[in-house]
Amino acid sequence: MKFGGWLWGAQLLCIAAAATPLYAKNVFKENSLEVKPNRSFGIDYKNNRFLKDGEGFRYASGSIHYFRVHQTLWHDRLKKLRMAGFNAVQTYVEWSSHEPEPGMYDFSGMLDLEGFLIAAQQEDLLVILRLGPFIDAERDMGGFPYWLLRMNPWMKLRTADPSYLKYVDNWFGNILLPKIKPHLYANGGPVIMIQVENEYGSYQACDFAYTSHMRDLTRQKLGDEVLLFSTDGSGTGYLKCGKIPGVYATVDFGTGANLNKTFGAQRLFEPQGPLVNSEFYPGWLDHWGDPHATVSSENVATSLDAMLAMNASVNMYMFHGGTSFGLTAGANKGSTYQACPTSYDYDAPLSEAGDPTEKYFAIRNVTKKYLPLPAGEVPPAMPKAAYGKIVMANHWTVMQLKGALQSTMQQWPLTFEDLNMPNGIVVYETTLNFTVRDPSVLSLNDIGDRGYVFVDGEYAGVASREGAIFDVPVSVRPGQTISVVVESQGRICVGSGINDFKGLTTNATLDGFYLEGWNMSPVPITNMTRLKAAFHKLKKISHSGQSMLSLSYGTRQGSMSFYRGTFKVPDDDDHPQDTFLKLDGWTKGIAWVNDFCLGRYWPVMGPQVTLYIPAGVLKKGTNKLMLLELEASPCADPSQCYVSLVDTPQINGPTPRKL
């Protein structure tokens, strides 16, 4: 990339000009909490430190994403963070969850952002907010709402493209920032810092007009004195495009880094001010089919100690990873497409279920050398229950459900985005009207992401973006129906590929000849209200005596089928408790408990074998479990048609052997 000399020089002038303390102050009372007058938080450039209420300050923060933790557990996780000696919590704000469709907003339950901010303050924690609009975080499309791709398929995300800024400006200016303003530290709340964009120096666009626009919009709505920061990799190549004039630049890196070199990159762009690692990695992310990632407690403690000894401020990403419930997990793209599992355990100090680990106590032993530990004991691990075996029964098949769903007929296949489908599965069907060889090759190039192929209901094979398998041999004659059930496995979460369309994204061919006349049926598995309505309609059709497909149609060893079961939770004060869903004999699919979508399971691929069920989604008495099994169930033998609720997780299971 090229950088104009005048622009680079202007940035350095802006850096040099920021040599006096910058802070915000005000008087405010909120949530019945007593607020000190003249609350302020800013930077003392002369002494290379933060200032809180006029006094020198540095933070030890941990990342906890409110949207990855059931709201009934926020206080438990935040208290454990505080009891580890940390004085702040950092979280992203995920646009896609809060605005799932244009103009439809959700700040309830696990998405109650303001409730999370209040909970943090009640636990004596300051808050560092990373607003996006792009967050990465191994989330679908990096936290962008999928419908941006529908509004304009050629939209240039993360740039000054007016068709993009139109929606960003509405989300930030009219919805998000007004909610945040009362919670700023100067206004009596816990929020001390606001991030502008996110690791922008890693994005190829390098659009300074865009990052300046996001800075100005944030200041306009939150005030000129609010402390803004940016986060980028600890290399000058990242900071050249990531640094925003008037926004304090910080860096991120993991264990074993050369601190003089990594913080030296920050110093090149911020000659004065506090040293900050905004993402210190105590663990790492996972992908389906790859071994569970781990980082040793000793290395984490040693690196943290070295940074705190330099009076640096540190945010640990993640302190508690939590769970990508539903279909919110994203994917990465290295040499091939790599989908992320449901668990976001991250080998963090607090496990996916919130249990303090050996790493937690190793870190606590470091922080207490530099920051006072709160009085009291560390809260123990939450109790876990093994509720035992759940007998499952085949309910409906996907092909049957298709008859109760709205379908769209077009000459060429449409993407999920065109079909108003955020995630899940779509059934694509076409009838062959010409003669081909036997067998012939069905080509589904650039499928997003996994396509199960059937000919007149008989399973023929699978196309896999993850496995780079796009050709499926089929035996098909004129008049027969080719069905492709496409499953999305998560949009790319970072880099140039985040505009990641799902479904049949190009025209399908058979022996090189285009297939036309497609009937497309989205299955609303991300919308429980619509899904239950389809089940109810299907039940009415069944009772009316109308012709229906047999249970076996479109299945292979019980695949493409919904299964249901019930289980009991004891009616006493000790229950419900957290538990884990173990799916021995099952292959790949999606699970719900009491209409709450736990997420995807794929135990034969690993490393995640069990799904975490927080106590907050359970109730005393009878509870319901539903599975959508896409590939193969153990139910050919009725005695094996069950799952288990166990008290021990397994996220480090075996994975396929690779060259």
Q: Which residues are catalytic?
A: 199, 279
Q: Which helix (H) or strand (E) holds 11?
A: helix 5-17
DSSP notation for 236-266: HHHHHHH--TTSEEEEEEETT--HHHHHHHH
User: What is the token pair recorded at 632?
Assistant: 């193969």
| SS3 assignment, position 578 | strand
Number of neighbouring beta carbons within 10 Å of residue 154: 8
Q: What angle do CA 505, 511, 514 make, to 5 degrees?
A: 45
CA torsion sign for 325, 327, 328, 329 is positive
DSSP notation for 329-398: B-EEESSSEEE--SB--TT-SB-TT--B-HHHHHHHHHHTTTSPPPSSPPPPPPPB---EEEE-EEEEEH
Phi and psi, residue 180, nearest 5°? -80, -35
**C-alpha–C-alpha distance, residues 644 and 591, integer Å:** 13
Query: Burial, 74: exposed, middle or buried (Cβ in 10 Å; 0-12, 13-18, 19+)?
Result: buried
User: What is the token pair recorded at 511?
Assistant: 């022996």
Q: Is the link from the previous residue into 413 a cis peptide, with omega within 30 of 0?
A: no
Cα within 13 Å of Cα(424), Cβ side: 22
Q: What angle do CA 451, 327, 353 make, to 5 degrees?
A: 130
Distance of CA 541 to the CA centre of its chain: 38
DSSP notation for 530-572: HHHHHHHHHHHHHHHT-----TTTT-SSS-SEEEEEEEEE-SS
Of 242, 247, 252, 185, the residue nearest 216 (C-alpha) = 247
In sequence order, the β-bridge partners of residue 192 are none
**C-alpha–C-alpha distance, residues 172 and 107, integer Å:** 14
Number of neighbouring beta carbons within 10 Å of residue 221: 16
User: Which DSSP category does 157 fall into?
Assistant: T
| SS3 assignment, position 30 | strand
Of 627, 597, 626, the residue nearest 613 (C-alpha) = 597
**C-alpha–C-alpha distance, residues 467 and 474, integer Å:** 19
The alpha carbons of the chain give a radius of gyration, in whole angstroms, of 26
**C-alpha–C-alpha distance, residues 223 and 330, integer Å:** 34
